[in-house]
């Protein structure tokens, strides 16, 4: 498979039309350790041609990180992977890998996702162009 560098794994799919998602992506751009992840908009149709295993509707619903063509992390698992890339967090990996840490990551993801969906539901422009 010949893949353009911008679409080479690992890559994170994000909604570039969502202000919250854009801020998350921009924050990641400034954190050492995350520069090796390609960030691709879910609205870029080329990504679905290159990786047909990606479902556009699912990508609109939840965060996806593609590690390999056949290994896709979604939602809290994607957040956990991204957190693990931060050099400072490596010292505390025992904490976020614990059962309580996983619950905290899951809670954080669900709260952020609910906030994102409520923002999208209030935005008239977003309602017209969203799958949510």
Contact 83, 74 (CB under 8 A): no
Structure confidence at residue 118 (pLDDT): 75
Strand order in the sheet with 71-74: 38-41, 11-14, 64-68, 71-74
pTM: 0.71
Contact 3, 13 (CB under 8 A): no
Structure confidence at residue 84 (pLDDT): 76
Determine the 3-state secondary structure of 27 from DSSP: helix
Confidence of residue 124 (pLDDT cuts 50, 70, 90): low
Please state the rounded mean pLDDT for residues 94-110.
71
Measured in degrees and rounded to the nearest 5, phi and psi for residue 33 equal 105, -20
């Amino acid at each position: 498979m010949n893949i353009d560098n911008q679409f080479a794994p690992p890559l994170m799919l994000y909604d570039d039309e969502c202000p919250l998602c854009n801020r998350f992506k921009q924050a990641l751009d400034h954190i050492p350790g995350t520069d090796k992840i390609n960030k691709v908009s879910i609205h870029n149709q080329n990504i679905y041609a290159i990786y047909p295993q990606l479902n556009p509707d699912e990508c609109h619903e939840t965060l996806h990180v593609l590690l390999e063509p056949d290994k896709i992390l979604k939602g809290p698992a994607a957040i956990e992977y991204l957190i693990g890339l931060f050099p400072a967090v490596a010292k505390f990996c025992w904490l976020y890998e614990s059962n309580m840490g996983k619950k905290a990551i899951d809670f954080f993801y669900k709260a952020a996702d609910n906030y994102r969906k409520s923002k999208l539901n209030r935005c008239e422009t977003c309602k017209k162009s969203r799958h949510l």
